[in-house]
Structure 1
């Protein structure tokens, strides 16, 4: 920690490679780009495993990112001009790349990937954490989207990029019961706005306060639609058109054989906030349950502790949490 980088022009070996070699990493090809840095494939010689190394330039990164968001990612190697974060290597690339290469997923594969993502989001929500928050609508979308669903060598989904994930604060003083604290997280309406227009719920596009937990499930709806249709449900090239589209019920191409159960789940997630499915509703959905190796009883139990005390009525519960757009 705190080492100084040597000038890259003073040596044939770039400074970042020299630093990584000192710690036992042989840096390979570039596998991704971010707003403030680059992700490389690397070989960790001490354990003989392939990893990913995210190298962030302090010169390019904003002070806000360096001081507020970067510490959330992971413990890192730091020099005077760069931060090096060592991550698990997703050898299968990301889901967006897969769809661009192969087109729409069969429902069995879409169900596998979606259910794995849903279990991950359910765990986060049960801990009072939301994934999709970013500083502004103009930010370079670090949120819940296809690019942030990585695939391992067995094509299992890994949710990535938690730099802007957020622990939603309780609106009341913390009490001894964890479920009480988590339940009150749900009444907090975030005023921090997301980065990717195509994945943003209508409340965000309207500039209204919104429930970040339901923002995540809207993004999940966009993802599931894209998995089975191979295109985004909403056109984000024109914001006014995008806003109009998000106010209507999404339609499906007649040429694709998508089951009604799958369509129903998508429609439950891509609707106005007062009626939108939360993550507990998603876990209980019949289409979702078909792709679970076993019923997610533990996740459902944790989420029930959050949602059910507020109200036994889904409509009443959502009305108490949301602002009608």
Structure 2
């Protein structure tokens, strides 16, 4: 509360006292979502700063409260990775859900680009290789993010990427994740199809825009392509103000500004991710890409091993596509 503020409203007091009961001192607002507000808070028991996402049950839709929110909490509980925002605790009361998360103090990558413009290729390489490690970890666990965008890439105080917002994340059932499908180049692991449209149009792959069942692993890599393009060019590759135009643009090869000094290796990687589904890079292709490997602080052997294992289902579970 600022000095000139009036008396706190009963609701403000209510959630502050709930938070205090659990040992959290709530500070300033650091973000707003459709159904909730994110605050900075101090966790007195561990003496650390955290982020608290407060979701109002009155404002949230039934679908969100009954389907997406429980799924988000379930997914986050299983995740532990240096490039993913850590989940600490969920607290539910009759009127609200409180989600306690790791605090990334450096803001988000979208704000960074809006402030400083295009990244140098070295910085883009650092951030993109960190994003790749985080997504490789997710995909190797059969989890898809489905809402990758610049504002969901947060930065810690050392400017390392932390992937956030698992509101649309989904655990793909194992038996569905291991079917051979010729259309996805025999990538057994990445053949589950989703029906739910998630995310933002500017980051959505053409099959989503066309309303077709889509492969969520490949929709994540398309969004990664949009992210890498935007890091090095400082604008989105596709104009999302007009859906018809957007659809046309996403079906063609993306164009880089003629005056940019982006390396061909980087451009080729973007083109491989922003391809039609049958030719699109999987995260396994991305993590093995020489341009990405150049920026890894250590060889991602563990991630590669896990992804490759996921792509080798036991022969008994293979259903040859008719």
Fold similarity call, TM over 0.5: yes
Aligned match of 1:109: 123
TM-superposed deviation, 1:172: 5.8
Matches within 5 A, 1:27-38: 27-38=26-37
Q: CA shift at 1:185, angstroms?
A: 5.1
Aligned residue for 1:295?
Answer: 299
Report the alpha carbon displacement of residue 173 of structure 1 after superposing the two structures with TM. Answer: 10
Q: Distance in 2 between matches of 1:220 and 1:102?
A: 20
CA distance in 1, matches of 2:214, 2:242: 22
Report the secondary structure of 1:14's partner residue.
Answer: helix
Q: Are 1:172 and 1:184, in contact at CA under 8 Å, matched by a contact in 2?
A: no
Give the CA deviation at 1:299. Answer: 1.1
Cα distance in 1, alignment partners of residues 10 and 102 from structure 2: 32
Task: Tell me, yes or no, if the aligned pair for 1:270 and 1:276 is still in contact at 8 Å.
Answer: yes
Q: Does the 8 A contact of 2:192 with 2:215 survive in 1? A: yes
Structure 2: runs of 5+ lacking an equivalent: 1-7, 74-88, 179-186, 315-320
Indicate the residue corresponding to 1:23 in structure 2: 22
CA distance in 2, matches of 1:215, 1:10: 43
Instruction: Give the distance between the partners of 1:213 and 1:161, measured in 2 at CA.
Output: 17
Native 8 Å contact 2:251 2:276 kept in 1: yes
Corresponding position: 1:251 with 2:255 = yes
Structural mapping, 1:233-248, within 5 Å: 233-248=237-252
- CA distance in structure 1 between the partners assigned to 2:196 and 2:177 by the alignment: 22
User: For 1:116-140, what per-residue CA distance to the aligned partner results, in whole angstroms no more than 9, with x for missing partners?
Assistant: 11011011111111110xxxxxxxx
Aligned with 1:197 (options 190, 201, 222): 201
In 2, Cα distance between equivalents of 1:103 and 1:206: 32
Tell me the distance in 2 between the aligned counterparts of 1:55 and 1:272: 39
Aligned counterparts of 2:22 and 2:141: Cα–Cα separation in 1? 34
The answer to which of 289-298 and 16-25 deviates more is: 16-25
- Report the counterpart of residue 168 of structure 2 in structure 1: 164
Q: Distance in 1 between matches of 2:312 and 2:21?
A: 53
**Does the C-alpha gap of structure 1 residues 164 and 297 become closer, same or farther in structure 2, counting only changes over 3 Å?**
same
Deviations 1:187-214 (A, max 9, x none): 2211111230000000011111111111
Q: Give the whole-Å Cα distance in 1 for the aligned partners of 2:176 and 2:271.
A: 33
CA contact (8 A) 1:114 1:224 kept: yes
State whether structure 2 residue 53 is matched by structure 1 residue 51.
Answer: no
Answer whether contact 2:189 2:312 (CA < 8 A) is retained.
no
Deviations 1:259-307 (A, max 9, x none): 1110010000001111111111101111001001122111112212233
Matched ranges for 1:147-296 at <5 A: 147-171=151-175, 186-296=190-300
Alpha-carbon deviation of 1:47? 1.7
Q: After the TM superposition, which segments of 4 or more aligned residues of structure 1 sit over 6 Å from their partners?
A: none
Q: CA deviation at 1:256?
A: 1.8
* Cα offset, 1:64, TM superposition: 1.7
**Which residue is equivalent to 2:71?**
72
Unaligned ranges ≥5, structure 1: 1-7, 133-142, 175-182, 311-319, 321-325
RMSD (CA atoms): 2.1
**Matches of 2:292 and 2:91, distance apart in 1:** 40
Distance 1:82 1:253, change over 3 A: same
Q: How many residues were matched structurally?
A: 286
Deviation at 1:43, TM superposition (A): 1.2
| Alignment match of 1:91 (pick from 75, 82, 105) | 105
Aligned counterparts of 2:207 and 2:9: Cα–Cα separation in 1: 49
Contact between 1:152 and 1:158, CA under 8 Å: does it hold in 2? yes
The question of whether the paired residues in 1 share the 8 Å contact of 2:124 and 2:232 is answered with: yes
Are residues 47 and 254 of structure 1, via their aligned partners in 2, closer, same or farther at CA, if it must alter by over 3 Å?
Answer: same
3-state SS of 2:279 partner: coil
TM norm structure 2: 0.84
